Amino acid sequence: MLCLRLAESMLQGMFNALKVFHGAFCNALLPNHKPFLSGNYAEPARSSNAKGALRETDGTRFVTETNVIIGGGVAGATAALALSRAGRPVDLYERSSSASHKICGEFLSREVSANMRSLGVDPARLGARPINRVRLVHGNRSVDEPLPFPALALSRKVLDEALLEHARACGVNVIRGKAARRIEQLDDGSLEVSFGSDGSTKARTVFLATGKHDLRGVKRAATGPQRGYVALKMYYRFNKKKTEYLRWVTELIFLKECYLGLMLVEDDQVNFCFVISEARFAEAGGTWDGVLQQFSRESAYVAAYLAGAEPLLDRPIAISSIPYGFVHSPSDSDPLGLWRLGDQIAVIPSFTGDGMGIATCSAVLAAKMFLEGATSREFHHHFSGVVRRQMRVSKPLNGMLFRHTISQNAIIWLASLFPTSVRTIARLTRVPEKAMCGLD
Ligand SMILES: Cc1cc2nc3c(=O)[nH]c(=O)nc-3n(C[C@H](O)[C@H](O)[C@H](O)COP(=O)(O)OP(=O)(O)OC[C@H]3O[C@@H](n4cnc5c(N)ncnc54)[C@H](O)[C@@H]3O)c2cc1C
């Protein structure tokens, strides 16, 4: 019975992936007859960006023409740069007061790097390491394949800080150390962002780019996505031999209800980041040391990596309740003038390494549509179509990676039998190239 269920879920996953592959193939043959930035949007434009009307100042509350961005990660900083480049005044609020680490595998796809460069921040100059291969490992089997595109690896601490610094240099008003608590639409149509005891601000347009953190009043819907995962991360220094073994490669190791990513970032630090089911994390005592001990018992390969590895952070960083597969569905109850970006609009499974692709694409696209007079609802509606294909492919695969050792084995087996499937999956789980508009 169990075997039947396993086979059924694996077949379902493969069937979905094939359906999308078929869809992508057909789309490639069809003429693209609906340019997404035509300016012809279905809904009547509310012209949230039109010049005019703003007056009121009362203590900490004020109404302003300035565009407000909440969150200074990849999505927020990219949107800030895109808007300021178009001459718009921007206030960006970032809760951290200085550069900090983030949970992320730190794989920058070609499109993300290109977008960063067009914004004026070159990851290679910041010390990013080049990546051109992917290695999948399960038990004593592995598959090592070239990526279909060149990629880079750079820590988010360095990247995000460089983006914010550059935004500041380009005239964005970057306000650090201020965390938004709540967003509310007022009767006059404006949005009030409350910073708790730090006051509040009002604006007609707010770009919400707080990543995994939901704000009261504008929480992401809880239905649909796959939840129940925890992610943890540490940087290590490996010896020369192991460091060289990782050069040029992004490595994904499949363990029980877990996948672990390893990659070299700047200064040859090893990004060691994994996603694990909450159940397995609890089984390991809910601690970093407990999990690593279990990994070492389960896999001699991981044990060999960890032997003699020097941790580079005082303690690991962690997040929980990642809503994999979440895509914001626009509805009439959405506050007008609130534009969701990055993880606030869609959360792709981590194994794809394309969260930053979604973050930059959503930010650039939102800025463009906003400047063209579209509404936030039109943007949300359009963007849910942009990410549909990559979600359809990555969600069932994500389920297979976590659910059973058998399905992990099957993935390695299929990848070694059909090596091009690795490249196909890598391509299909990326934001489609035609949507990945850079800045002019
Ligand atoms: C385990 C794991 C591995 C991943 N690996 C990769 C990878 O290799 N490659 C990839 O492209 N993507 C990866 N991702 C996804 C990627 O990290 C995210 O999709 C991306 O960071 C989203 O960018 P963002 O700007 O929306 O959010 P974030 O990068 O999270 O930025 C949000 C910002 O908002 C700030 N903020 C939060 N709340 C508030 C508040 N209330 N007020 C003010 N500021 C606030 C935060 O401090 C932060 O700076 C991974 C994700 C996980 C969980």
Residue pLDDT, tens place only, 313-328: 999 999 998 999 999 9
CB 411 within 8 A of CB 13: no
Q: Please say if the pLDDT value at position 5 is more than 80.
A: no
Q: Please say if the pLDDT value at position 423 is more than 70.
A: yes
| Closest C-alpha among 99, 91, 152 to residue 356 | 152
| Span from the CA of 34 to the centroid of ligand 1 (angstroms) | 31
Any residues with Cβ below 6 Å from ligand 1, and which?
70-76, 93-96, 102-107, 179-180, 209-213, 215, 231, 273, 275, 322, 342-343, 350, 353-357, 359
- Which residue, by CA, sits nearest to atom 9 of ligand 1? 353
**Which pTM does this prediction carry?**
0.87
- Which residue, by CA, sits nearest to atom 45 of ligand 1? 71
Mutate to test the pocket of ligand 1, among 92, 253, 343, 364 (most ligand atoms within 8 A of CB): 343
Express each pLDDT in 240-268 by its tens digit. 999 999 999 999 999 999 999 999 999 99
Mean pLDDT is lowest, of 26-30, 206-210, 278-282, 319-323, for 26-30
Q: Please say if the pLDDT value at position 18 is more than 60.
A: no
Beginning with the edge strand found earlier in the chain, give each strand of the sheet holding 338-340 in spatial order: 173-176, 90-94, 67-70, 206-208, 338-340
Closest ligand 1 atom to the C-alpha of 355?
19
Question: Residue 252 and residue 235: Cα distance in Å, rounded?
Answer: 16
- Which residue, by CA, sits nearest to atom 30 of ligand 1? 211
Highest averaged pLDDT of the listed ranges 304-313, 397-406, 412-421: 304-313
Question: Residue 380 and residue 84: Cα distance in Å, rounded?
Answer: 22
Average pLDDT score over residue span 21-40:
33
In sign, the C-alpha dihedral spanning 96, 264, 111, 170 is: positive
Q: Please say if the pLDDT value at position 239 is more than 70.
A: yes
pLDDT of residue 225: 64
Q: Please say if the pLDDT value at position 366 is more than 70.
A: yes
Computed over every residue of the chain, the mean pLDDT equals: 85
Q: Higher confidence at residue 357 or residue 25?
A: 357
